Copies of this chain bind each other. A is one copy, B any other.
Amino acid sequence: MNQPTQSAHTWQSIRAEVLRRIRSREWPPGSMIPNEADLAIELGCARATVNRALRDLAEAGVLDRRRRAGTRVAATPVRRAVLQIPVIRDEVAALGQPYGYRLLSREMAAPPPTVAATLSLPTGEAALHVRALHLSGAHPFVIEDRWITPAAAPGILDADLSQVSANEWLVRNAPFTAGTLSFGAVCADDQLAALLDCASGTPLLRLDRTTADGARIVTAAALTYHAGYRLRTTI
């Protein structure tokens, strides 16, 4: 008397049906929807399948779920956009351009106070400072200006950063558990303009990134992209 084990009701189809009801205003924003057990009966599938579908929609921000309180349609759906943060080499390759890399400078130095604070370094303590230019074909793509806590990235001081960018070396060799990302706009100063082959004063997108392994900040990097660069994603 059991249903066939694999029914026509996949969790994706359940999710599609729920989405349809939300979009048709059958279940308007802010309203409660039936509980999992009832939905399972109505739609003719197991509760686990409904759970999978609703959990997915909750992750996407379409539903709000709370134990005992039930599930409601999000009143103002907070849309989540997923940014893919690839290794720069891969990002350039995805554009169909040959990737190039040039190490500009590499030195141990005491970072400026703001960077020292970000890295939680005692004042005056030195860190590894690396600047590099990534190229897309013959054109400058992005400038990487990075500070690294050597103690948090064992081996970095022996790495040949003229061959492999710090970006890639760290991704491959320094495990990390968390990080922050922030975007802003800056004006090209003379140095940036020369490196990125644009006019001084050109507005540029800048991405600041920190990477941590547990509580310890491994690296802080500023990526300044070439003029006209846009970061794209879909919702």
Task: Give chain A's interface residues, CB within 8 Å of chain B.
Answer: 22-23, 25, 29, 75-87, 90, 168, 171-172, 175, 177-187, 201-206, 208, 211, 228-235
Contacts and interface: CB of A to CB of B under 8 A. Distances in A.
Copies in the complex: 2
Contacts of A182: 230-233
Contacts of A25: 175
A23 B182 CA distance: 25
- Please classify the interface of chain A as helix (H, G, I), strand (E, B), loop, or mixed, using the class held by over half of its residues: strand
A207 B93 CA distance: 25
Contact of A83 (B81, B186, B202, B211): B81
Given A203-B204, A204-B203, A183 B230 contact: yes
Given A81-B85, A185-B206, A203-B204, 14 more contacts: A23-B177, A75-B172, A76-B90, A78-B85, A79-B85, A81-B181, A82-B83, A178-B234, A179-B234, A180-B235, A183-B230, A187-B201, A208-B230, A211-B235
Contacts of A87: 76, 78
